[in-house]
Structure 1
Amino acid sequence: MSEITLGKYLFERLSQVDCNTVFGLPGDFNLSLLDKLYEVEGMRWAGNANELNAAYAADGYARIKGMSCIITTFGVGELSALNGIAGSYAEHVGVLHVVGVPSISSQAKQLLLHHTLGNGDFTVFHRMSANISETTAMITDIANAPAEIDRCIRTTFTTQRPVYLGLPANLVDLNVPAKLLETPIDMALKPNDAEAEAEVVRTVIEMIQDAKNPVILADACASRHDVKAETKKLIDLTQFPTFVTPMGKGSIDEQHPRYGGVYVGTLSKPEVKKAVESADLILSVGALLSDFNTGSFSYSYRTKNVVEFHSDHIKIRNATFPGVQMKFALQKLLTAIPAVVKDYKPVAVPAKTPANKALPASTPMKQEWMWNQLSNFLQEGDIVIAETGTSAFGINQTTFPTDVYAIVQVLWGSIGFTVGALLGATMAAEELDPKKRVILFIGDGSLQLTVQEISTMIRWGLKPYIFVLNNNGYTIEKLIHGPHAEYNEVQPWDHLALLPTFGAKDYETHRVVTTGEWDKLTQDKEFQDNSRIRMIEVMLPVFDAPQNLVKQAQLTAATNAKQ
């Protein structure tokens, strides 16, 4: 086979980088392209309910496997996906957005085609996406098309940002040399500038030598940019107290003896706040300093000795080293660390949250109790997804077993994101290990935005756990503003009828009202095995919320009211 179609070339390349499931919807400008997917062994077309959900699913898949691909059609399809793509851009998630666009001749003639704005401008949607993409490519020449596809895939993976790739309908059936597939795409990061990297390492080593009370703070990009192993080794070698941010949940082992808890500025537990803010050196790995990730920017470090390790730069105090990537800088630092920390005497870390006290089995469910009790249900290797709202804040109170990965969209915070992300993460988990559990916590209000993607899960026989926290409306919004406003209410649903409505045959549904019912269900051995799709409705009081959310809502309301 000396030649293959350009469409097949794209899917062969995706297969080579272990991106085996493609999300999206068919449209007349991408149909010929989609035909080629089925020519590549091991590739799967998810077939989503709508493009927004597809973008959310691609985000969830990429967080587990390193990158993903979504295919939409020109105009109406691609625009429907952009909220999800913007979230991936904000939160450093590598999603390749492939758009089937009209043929080159149609564009040149400025035909008044469907899905256009009727003005002959075929570049307007590409320009819109450029602002939320690391790079873009609109293929116009078959000769350089393979190289452009390779560049887009590499950029998606190495930068962990969305990339836009436009493929005209008339080009996907044209042939390119098959031998190009014999040369793998170079997915490795380019080395740091040696002098700049050496200066960073030397400066950080000097700061560690002078420090008496250093701490490590792991954030979102420790996971996104693949430095979890380096961060763990940094903790092991130094024995410094280590904390995570809300977006950093799952980036380090919370069973590690040097793990001290979640730092959220003023919203932290007092002992965690004191431990972090009294430090004389803070090694921050992969920070994303958003409002909900920092307790409305309430970090109160008492030291200016802060080192921020980022994917594309390092910041030391007020000095920035552009282009120095944290992965290589950390690796170099780790070789020099043992000699400078040999005299460090580890200080105690804050104690873990104690187990819940025994309660009568008839005690009504409450958020604070549930999030602490959840630690007993989770298992090593679980993927836990928490929706914007009470779940995103409550999960901070849950101590994870080893190797639990969290998906929480703290920065972008698009309500309903997690249903799509659940689909993507579960498909990724199935490819890695069919026994890996994927567990969603979502409110009754958020569920209504994207619920139809549950039908796609059923279509593929996926087996996630869907915990619906029914507190009768948008509790997070009620806490911020309008506690009794009609706009914060939703139509009540019969949640336990959803799975059969979407055609599920092998499924379970449960309603949990009391702590005794929770314990009986979560301790059941059969329930602990992900043998079928399950929906669990947890009945909670309307204004019941984790205390950190109550405080955050007050801070947010105050910020919104400032003149």
Structure 2
Amino acid sequence: MWMPMIGLWRLQEELRMDPTDPTLSRRGLVAVSMAAVALGAAATEAQAAGTVTVPDYIVERLHGLGVRHLFGVPGATCDPLFEAAQAGPLEVVVTSSDLDAGYAADGYARTAGIGAVALTYGVGARTILPVVGGAYAERSPMLIVNGGPSPEDLRLQNELGTLFSHSDGTDDGDLRAFQPVTAYARRVTRASELPEVLDAALRTALEQQRPVYVEVARNLWWSRCTAPSGAIQPVPVGPPPEEALLARIQQRLAVARRPIVLAGVGLRRFGLQDTAAALIEALGVPWATTMLGKAVLDENSGGFAGVYAGTRSVPELRDIVEGSDCVLALGCVFGRQYRHLVTRSTNSLMRVDVDGVRIANEPAVSADQGAVLDGMLASAASLASEWRETAALPALDFATRRASLPKRPHPAVRQSEAGIGYDTVMALLSERLTDEHLLVTDTSLSMYPAAEVHIRGRDGVLCNAVWASIGYSVGASVGAALGQSRRPVVVCGDGGFQMTCQALSSMARHELPNVVLVLDNGLYGIEQWLLDKAWYAGNGRPPRAHFALQPWRYDALAQAMGVEHAVRVETAEALATALDASLTHPGPSLLSVRVPPHDLPQELRA
């Protein structure tokens, strides 16, 4: 237990004074000493009484769950929490924008197990609603702590019509905004409520692997509540599976001639990676992952067939997945890319995830997914398939995996444009990434070849492939750098980068080793492709005006934000050299990579 937060940070500053400093009076020295004694006594008395301050309760609970960093932008409504975190065991990571704080907390949650962010009411908190929506869709357990209005704020607003700071005129605007995109959202109006509310929020975050929201009336920050007691223990979601349910799953696997396992990010979220790997090995079947789940299992282990991303996948993988008579999807979050599979393979699809078990087009049956996998593993040896030995599994090498894609040449206009193509960028990365790197991909044209990048080891990729928010990668990589030990290597389009470029300042401030590649083609390329594919054929007209970007000097911008190792490259040779230097540079790096405007990855060429 650390000392109470109240006044501690000021005391720490005083105690750093040199007692021999002639400018420090004897009276001042005595006052500091007495304050130290008084606070020490207060801490002892508080511990004896079994109470802590409201901010200390939050900090202690987060620390008990393994959280070591609190992200946010300080403001009057949440500042006491920042003071408590800094006085206690958490490092406060202040970002340059509220949006970046949200993305950093999300990246931390996805890599460390749970994350936390605190922001100012209204203007700060609602800024991260797009982040929280993605965390809800893709199951990322983050705690949002918000300082809300006091009873007096609400009285004056309702009786006199004077809005409290950052109010929209309603009593609970932030709470109602967060309720649809969180698994738990409550407002605390009495200090005595906090332990129950916070513990329930954190337990829900762990059980459902989704964001939760706790709003604390700002007058409570200086109040006390019961000290934490016991550990927060999540309980399984769903009952143990019935024998009849397991028997049906086993029967479908037993008669299947071409079974395959499709592994999703839920295996990592719920700690089921080892069980799933053992099940796949015991069944002896090929396996693939979704893009969101890329590297959730070690791609170098036996039977790996690739990353299935729907109709843009390499042909061999499409044949294995879409030609399967039994697709066992474990922990998958299916976005629009998987409509083709789900509609075409309805009768052969079995889904096991936190929502239960869904066989074919039947309603989901509630069951604890961990217990389902355990039950399947117990009988897997008797269901072993020989198909893995005969299936034509693609090689791990990036170029070899993509060799079967249709050979469609670039249009003539592309041949005359300077720069480095997407396929070349991702090939150079694939050659260099090791088990010491974390590939962080963004929603851009580069995400298609990113599926085939060779990842060494488990948990080597971070993305938001279902929610698909451009700019996610840059901010999320700040949290990821602090949440795990791999070095983040970010690949982001220029349009996305312009959304969250302030994260470079956080990388420099905290001396993070992130390597950021900005793919500069001068336009919102993925939107241009989605809405006007014909432009890429080179018909002589400019891109749609609202897709064109204002040109930036990304290397100069990075240096202005404190990222000194920043270069611009326009050839493959220069990129290879810059990558080698950046991957060994001790601090953050930025590579501004010129990409020809009409370039497309091989998957997308008409």
- TM-score above 0.5: yes
* Alpha-carbon distance in 2 for matches of 1:538, 1:417: 19
Pairing 1:145–2:215 present = no
Match of 2:593 in 1: 538
Q: Which AA in structure 2 matches 1:142? A: A
Pairing 1:428–2:428 present = no
Q: Aligned ranges for residues 188-337 of structure 1 at < 5 Å?
A: 189-190=235-236, 192-194=238-240, 196-291=241-336, 293-294=337-338, 297=340, 301=344, 304-337=347-380
* Alpha-carbon distance in 2 for matches of 1:257, 1:135: 40
Cα distance 1:274–1:426, how it changes in 2: closer, same or farther (>3 A)? Answer: same
Q: Which AA in structure 1 matches 2:530? A: I
1:249-269 per-position Cα deviation (integer Å, ceiling 9, x unaligned)? 121211123001122232221
1:164-185 per-position Cα deviation (integer Å, ceiling 9, x unaligned)? 100011112111233x34x111
Counterpart among 443, 447, 456 of residue 497 in structure 2: 447
Match of 2:34 in 1: none
Q: How far did 1:549 drift?
A: 4.5
Q: How far did 1:124 drift?
A: 2.3
Q: How far did 1:370 drift?
A: 2.5
Pairing 1:16–2:64 present = yes
Cα distance 1:105–1:323, how it changes in 2: closer, same or farther (>3 A)? Answer: farther
Cα distance 1:300–1:264, how it changes in 2: closer, same or farther (>3 A)? Answer: farther
Match of 1:97 in 2: 144
* Alpha-carbon distance in 2 for matches of 1:356, 1:262: 15
Alignment partner of 2:340: what SS? coil
Equivalent residue pairs, number = 529
Q: How far did 1:89 drift?
A: 1.0
Alignment partner of 1:170: what SS? helix
Q: Aligned ranges for residues 362-441 of structure 1 at < 5 Å?
A: 365-429=420-484, 433=485, 436-441=486-491
Match of 1:494 in 2: 553
Q: Are the aligned partners of 2:258 and 2:387 in contact in 1 as well (CA < 8 Å)? A: no
* Alpha-carbon distance in 2 for matches of 1:263, 1:33: 43
Alignment partner of 1:243: what SS? strand
Q: Are the aligned partners of 1:116 and 1:122 in contact in 2 as well (CA < 8 Å)? A: no
Range 347-356 or range 24-33, more displaced: 347-356
Cα distance 1:370–1:32, how it changes in 2: closer, same or farther (>3 A)? Answer: closer
Cα distance 1:19–1:160, how it changes in 2: closer, same or farther (>3 A)? Answer: same
Q: What TM-score comes out, normalization by structure 2 length? A: 0.82
Q: How far did 1:356 drift?
A: 4.6
Q: Which AA in structure 1 matches 2:186? A: A
* Alpha-carbon distance in 2 for matches of 1:45, 1:354: 41
* Alpha-carbon distance in 1 for matches of 2:83, 2:343: 56
Range 26-35 or range 150-159, more displaced: 26-35
Cα distance 1:37–1:77, how it changes in 2: closer, same or farther (>3 A)? Answer: same
Match of 1:38 in 2: 86
Q: How far did 1:405 drift?
A: 2.2
* Alpha-carbon distance in 2 for matches of 1:439, 1:210: 43
Match of 2:30 in 1: none
Q: How far did 1:364 drift?
A: 5.5
Q: Are the aligned partners of 2:297 and 2:459 in contact in 1 as well (CA < 8 Å)? A: no
Range 400-409 or range 96-105, more displaced: 400-409
Q: How far did 1:496 drift?
A: 1.3
Counterpart among 76, 86, 89 of residue 123 in structure 2: 76
Q: Are the aligned partners of 1:356 and 1:373 in contact in 2 as well (CA < 8 Å)? A: no
Unaligned runs of 5+ in 2: 1-46, 401-417, 536-542
1:492-520 per-position Cα deviation (integer Å, ceiling 9, x unaligned)? 1111112320134xx42233322223334
Q: Which AA in structure 2 matches 1:251? A: V
Max Rg structure: 2
* Alpha-carbon distance in 1 for matches of 2:578, 2:82: 43
Alignment partner of 1:397: what SS? coil
Q: Are the aligned partners of 1:265 and 1:299 in contact in 2 as well (CA < 8 Å)? A: no
Q: Are the aligned partners of 2:398 and 2:454 in contact in 1 as well (CA < 8 Å)? A: no
* Alpha-carbon distance in 2 for matches of 1:80, 1:550: 37
Q: How far did 1:11 drift?
A: 0.4
Match of 2:565 in 1: 508
* Alpha-carbon distance in 1 for matches of 2:213, 2:552: 38
Q: Which AA in structure 2 matches 1:496? A: D
Pairing 1:480–2:534 present = no
Q: How far did 1:224 drift?
A: 2.9
Q: How far did 1:303 drift?
A: 6.8
* Alpha-carbon distance in 2 for matches of 1:67, 1:396: 26
Q: Which AA in structure 2 matches 1:306? A: L
Q: Are the aligned partners of 1:217 and 1:283 in contact in 2 as well (CA < 8 Å)? A: yes
Cα distance 1:255–1:345, how it changes in 2: closer, same or farther (>3 A)? Answer: closer
Counterpart among 203, 217, 221 of residue 154 in structure 1: 203
Cα distance 1:462–1:271, how it changes in 2: closer, same or farther (>3 A)? Answer: same
Q: How far did 1:150 drift?
A: 0.8
Alignment partner of 2:451: what SS? helix
* Alpha-carbon distance in 2 for matches of 1:322, 1:355: 39
Match of 2:157 in 1: 110
* Alpha-carbon distance in 2 for matches of 1:530, 1:316: 50
* Alpha-carbon distance in 2 for matches of 1:134, 1:503: 38
Match of 2:218 in 1: 169
1:439-474 per-position Cα deviation (integer Å, ceiling 9, x unaligned)? 100112211111112111111111100111111221
Q: What TM-score comes out, normalization by structure 1 length? A: 0.88
Unaligned runs of 5+ in 1: 358-362, 552-563
* Alpha-carbon distance in 1 for matches of 2:444, 2:246: 40
Q: How far did 1:345 drift?
A: 6.7
Q: How far did 1:343 drift?
A: 7.0
Alignment partner of 1:176: what SS? strand
Q: Which AA in structure 2 matches 1:379? A: T
* Alpha-carbon distance in 2 for matches of 1:548, 1:97: 39
1:89-114 per-position Cα deviation (integer Å, ceiling 9, x unaligned)? 11111111111012133224535234
Range 312-321 or range 441-450, more displaced: 312-321
* Alpha-carbon distance in 2 for matches of 1:463, 1:84: 23
